Structure 1
Amino acid sequence: MENMNNVEAKENVQDDYNPYEHREVEKPSSDLRSTANLIKASLGSGLLAGPLAFSNAGWGIGIVGTLFVGFLCGHCIHILVKTSRGCCKIERKPLLDYAQTCKSAFENGPKWCRPYAQAASIFAEFALVSTYVGVCCIYTVLISDSIKQLVDRYVPSVILPVEYYCLIFLIPLCILCQIKYLKWLAIFSVMANIFLFATYLICLYYIFGSPLDISDKKVVGDPARFPAFISTVIFAMEGIGVVMPVENAMKKPQNFLGCPSVLLVAMAAIVFFYSTLGLFGYFRYGDILRGSITLNLPMDDWPAICAKIFIALSIFFTYPLQFFVVFDIFQKYTDSYVKDNYKSLTFVVARIIGVCFCVGIGIALPLLEQIINLVGACFYSILGLIIPAVVETVFRWQRLGNFNWVFWKNLLIFLFGVGSLISGCTVTILDILEILRRKTE
């Protein structure tokens, strides 16, 4: 009876408070800009790794798996945002970020989980930082790989390892990452989306340039490679770390969920682009694919050259959006300790140090395919699947629906996330060890 009274009291509080009416956002973003940011947060190097993912799974499993993972990722974003809104109403706060949502859900959940609220928040912050540092490392390597191919081909007198190109892009990345507001980053996201779409069209131009022969293409691939497929798809579909900053910065946040909505439009576009390029890219290039399909394009044609330049520019302009998540967490914990007179200089230096750290890791581990799989398997599985499932279950503990369907649904998502994490990391680590073994022979 006491639990039921608590639930009714919370529902009454939620009905009385509308967080949107109390939300004051500096430089709010429109629905269009928010959609652009959300699409760009997911689509990038992951899109171009789609054909490689299909070669691991086979084209039949690839199509079904892509649709399934796309739906699952969209659903997890939906329940995270919905839970965050419920927590805002209970806490009577205008907005909460990812970690604050986790903490609030545990604090307002059943008694047995309340002592773990602070631990849930810390774990979420750690997962966010780890994920987006990994993404920034991948972006550094992808930009450098694309430019290195062009320089090696057209300036043969200058042959430099990919690590040198990472260092060359260090300064422009440091400058670009000084942008402070998502509204301004949306301009670069739109530019990045245009370059990415142009690259997508050029890839289709080469894919359909001659008749496709699918007779030797696998419908079902080697089951041992399925974890690598799932890891790559999760990496490509997930942009959940950017979701709460994007939703919190919207001029009309009520338009983020629903039908039609920012989330629905963004996820539909992401699934369409990924599945079409993955499927037809595999049909064209088979099992000889590299980490990014642009690395398989011919080096002597101008369209292919443009594609390599466009993808480098697209990833370059996306980099500050991914880095925004990392720095936002850093700023949240340090802002109160820095005097107002020194904040601007301190945060400029901090952004430079952060970019240098990410580039340094990229230099140390320039294995593009393996880093993509590892980030997708480990970090995005935790951030995009496991945490949202746990948080919604805890928050709705007294309202799990008929036959506790919310609990069983989230348990399946949790198990899928854990399975993806373990199997994906295992396969990727074995791949890395095999590559290192070959280099030492």
Structure 2
Amino acid sequence: MPIQSLDRLPPVGDKIPQFFVTTLFIFEGSSVSMSLYKTIRTHHHFRMTFGVLNVGELIVMLFYTSIGFLGYLQYGEDTEGTITSSLPASPLYDAVQLVYAVVVLGTYPIILYVPIQVLWNIIKQKVGPIINGNEWNGVKSQGGARLMIIELVFRALLVVATYLLSVVVPQLDLIISLVGAITSSSVAVMIPSILHTVTFWEQNSNRWARIRLLAVNLVLFAIGLTAFTLGIYFSVSDIIDSYRTIEFINETTLPSSSVG
């Protein structure tokens, strides 16, 4: 398939809000970043100018930018929500999708690391005393082994739940933009700006340092609030338009198929 010329590509102006909140969703790795910072041995290597965080974010940005640009340059308005869905059926592209599936399989434990750590500790506090204090199948419970089985089942259920969500939701890209508008703008921008102000306000005795701290965090909070408001509005509008389009297609195709 030949690459489309730049002047023939459709405009993307009306998709800028969706792009913005989707980008927030992509870069919202604060939970994983904080867990990595907690476990890393040399913390200064993490937060330095060319440290783990900045270099990692730069690599992620380059990957997403190049894949998004080249995919849009190739498929134009036919670009799907996930670029692998736009690939034609051929052995080469099937191999690409297989490699992509392997990558997702390898990175899934990292993505679910924080939710599992939070949720499993809550479940373990509830289930642990019951298992350790009772018998299971007539045999005295071995708490560690039983808890490991339950933890593996819990991890598997999380994976199955996210898989079912991706299957059930027809327009996954629109849901991602909505989730990015709600969670990423608040968790990655607004809440950290508030916490940063509260944490370092008393430590900055200098008046101008406090003014600078407040000004920077107010700007960040305003950016997050703008992304939150506009992102929800445009994402919900796109979801409604998408389902209206699906209903219109069904209404126009079903009568003709029944007549035939």
Q: TM-score, normalised by structure 2?
A: 0.78
Distance in structure 1 (CA, Å) of the matches to 2:115 and 2:60: 23
- Check if 1:235 corresponds to 2:25: yes
Within a 5 Å distance, the mapping from 1:42-441 to structure 2 comes to: 213-217=5-9, 221-222=12-13, 224-300=14-90, 302-337=91-126, 338-339=128-129, 341=143, 342-398=146-202, 399=204, 401-402=208-209, 404-440=211-247, 441=251
> Match of 1:421, as an amino acid?
F
CA RMSD of aligned residues (A): 2.4
1:291 Cα offset (Å): 0.7
- Name the SS of the counterpart of 1:299 in structure 2: coil
1:212 Cα offset (Å): 5.5
1:231 Cα offset (Å): 1.4
Unaligned runs of 5+ in 2: 133-142, 252-260
Distance in structure 2 (CA, Å) of the matches to 1:437 and 1:315: 32
Seen in structure 2, the aligned counterparts of structure 1 residues 421 and 415 have a Cα distance that, compared at 3 Å, is same
Distance in structure 2 (CA, Å) of the matches to 1:416 and 1:320: 31
1:229 Cα offset (Å): 1.1
2:197–2:214: 8 Å Cα contact kept in structure 1?
yes
Listed one character per residue, the Cα deviations across residues 184-205 of structure 1 (whole Å, up to 9, x for unaligned) are xxxxxxxxxxxxxxxxxxxxxx
1:298 Cα offset (Å): 2.4
1:261 Cα offset (Å): 0.9
- Name the SS of the counterpart of 1:362 in structure 2: helix
Does 1 or 2 have the higher relative contact order (CA < 8 Å, sep 6+)?
1
2:186–2:224: 8 Å Cα contact kept in structure 1?
yes
Distance in structure 1 (CA, Å) of the matches to 2:184 and 2:62: 20
2:4–2:76: 8 Å Cα contact kept in structure 1?
no
Distance in structure 1 (CA, Å) of the matches to 2:49 and 2:55: 9
1:345 Cα offset (Å): 2.9
Listed one character per residue, the Cα deviations across residues 167-224 of structure 1 (whole Å, up to 9, x for unaligned) are xxxxxxxxxxxxxxxxxxxxxxxxxxxxxxxxxxxxxxx8xxx565212346x742x4
Aligned residues: percent identity? 24
Seen in structure 2, the aligned counterparts of structure 1 residues 356 and 211 have a Cα distance that, compared at 3 Å, is closer
Distance in structure 1 (CA, Å) of the matches to 2:85 and 2:46: 36
1:213–1:284: 8 Å Cα contact kept in structure 2?
no
1:241–1:383: 8 Å Cα contact kept in structure 2?
no
Seen in structure 2, the aligned counterparts of structure 1 residues 212 and 426 have a Cα distance that, compared at 3 Å, is same
Seen in structure 2, the aligned counterparts of structure 1 residues 424 and 349 have a Cα distance that, compared at 3 Å, is same
Distance in structure 2 (CA, Å) of the matches to 1:354 and 1:211: 40
> Match of 1:361, as an amino acid?
L
2:3–2:73: 8 Å Cα contact kept in structure 1?
no
Listed one character per residue, the Cα deviations across residues 85-133 of structure 1 (whole Å, up to 9, x for unaligned) are xxxxxxxxxxxxxxxxxxxxxxxxxxxxxxxxxxxxxxxxxxxxxxxxx
Distance in structure 2 (CA, Å) of the matches to 1:327 and 1:317: 16
1:217–1:286: 8 Å Cα contact kept in structure 2?
yes
- Name the SS of the counterpart of 2:221 in structure 1: helix
Seen in structure 2, the aligned counterparts of structure 1 residues 305 and 360 have a Cα distance that, compared at 3 Å, is closer
2:193–2:221: 8 Å Cα contact kept in structure 1?
yes
Seen in structure 2, the aligned counterparts of structure 1 residues 404 and 351 have a Cα distance that, compared at 3 Å, is same
1:394 Cα offset (Å): 1.0
Seen in structure 2, the aligned counterparts of structure 1 residues 252 and 432 have a Cα distance that, compared at 3 Å, is same
Distance in structure 1 (CA, Å) of the matches to 2:94 and 2:166: 24
> Match of 1:368, as an amino acid?
L
1:274 Cα offset (Å): 2.1
1:393–1:406: 8 Å Cα contact kept in structure 2?
yes
1:235 Cα offset (Å): 1.9
Distance in structure 2 (CA, Å) of the matches to 1:410 and 1:280: 35
Equivalent residue number for residue 33 of structure 1? none
Distance in structure 1 (CA, Å) of the matches to 2:240 and 2:161: 24
> Match of 1:433, as an amino acid?
I
Q: Please identify the structure whose Cα radius of gyration is greater.
A: 2
